Homo-oligomer: A and B are copies of this chain.
Amino acid sequence: MARPREFDRDAAVQRAMSVFWRKGYAATSTDDLLRAMNIGRQSLYDTFGDKHRLYLEALERYQRERVAENIRRLRSTASPLAGIEALVIGIIAADKPTRERGCMGVGSICEFGNTDPDLVTLRTRSGGALHKALIEQLRHAQAANEIGANVDIERAARFVETTMFGLQVAAKAGASLQALRDTAAFAIASLRHR
């Protein structure tokens, strides 16, 4: 063994995540990261490889946290459809600064599209997990007669996911809490009425 690391690796990733989340990848400099993480330059390169690998790790952490949180909300209610509503409403933060930070995942999609294979993999993994849970929940809702028997579950799931994307963009653009919640409720109601 040898000299142990002085900083908390996990806390450092979290701080990096926060910077990337706020500014995106290209607009974040390594100096920004060092300041936020409060570590030395060499520590960053030794511990995380380079800027790109650190970004990947930060985004991975973000997605893991978010997916867990989302699935928890999805299953938080007695009624299956209410769970779906809780999921969609839940992504809208009550306080304005948090809300206007938007979603790091959406930011990553908009900044990189499909150009980076690592990001595609990451996205597929976390997106797939939520999708699976959502499909399951929609089936329950259908079984409970909360949505019509003729509704295509796969399509409904994509609809919910698209609505979530849209809300994240609208939030980043400065839409009000009320408008966002309204829209979310409107979208969910449209599932109910089929």
Contact A110 B114 (CB under 8 A): no
Choose from B120, B162, B172 the contact partner of A110 (Cβ within 8 Å).
B172
Query: What is the interface of chain A mostly: helix, strand, loop, or mixed?
Result: helix
Interface residues of A in 160-194 (CB under 8 A from B): 161-170, 172-175, 179, 182-183, 186-187, 190-191, 193-194
Choose from B109, B155, B183 the contact partner of A155 (Cβ within 8 Å).
B183
Q: Does A90 contact B (CB under 8 A)?
A: no
Q: Does A85 contact B (CB under 8 A)?
A: no
- CB-CB contacts of A10-43 with B at 8 A, as 1s and 0s? 0000000000000010110000000000000000
Copies of this chain:
2
- CB-CB contacts of A100-121 with B at 8 A, as 1s and 0s? 1110001101110110000010
Choose from B26, B100, B155, B174 the contact partner of A186 (Cβ within 8 Å).
B155
Bound-complex Cα distance A175 to B193 (A): 26
Q: Does A61 contact B (CB under 8 A)?
A: no
Task: Report the count of interface residues on A (CB-CB < 8 A).
Answer: 42
Q: Does A159 contact B (CB under 8 A)?
A: yes
| Chain B residues whose C-beta falls within 8 Å of the C-beta of A26 in the assembled complex | 24, 26-27
Q: A113-B174, A159-B190, A166-B169 are in contact. List 5 more A-B contacts (CB 8 A).
A: A106-B169, A111-B111, A158-B182, A162-B170, A190-B193
A to B CB contacts below 8 Å, 15 in the list? A24-B26, A24-B110, A24-B111, A100-B113, A106-B110, A109-B173, A110-B172, A123-B173, A158-B170, A158-B175, A162-B166, A163-B163, A166-B166, A166-B167, A190-B193
**Interface set of A (CB-CB < 8 Å, partner B):** 24, 26-27, 100-102, 106-107, 109-111, 113-114, 120, 123, 155-156, 158-159, 161-170, 172-175, 179, 182-183, 186-187, 190-191, 193-194
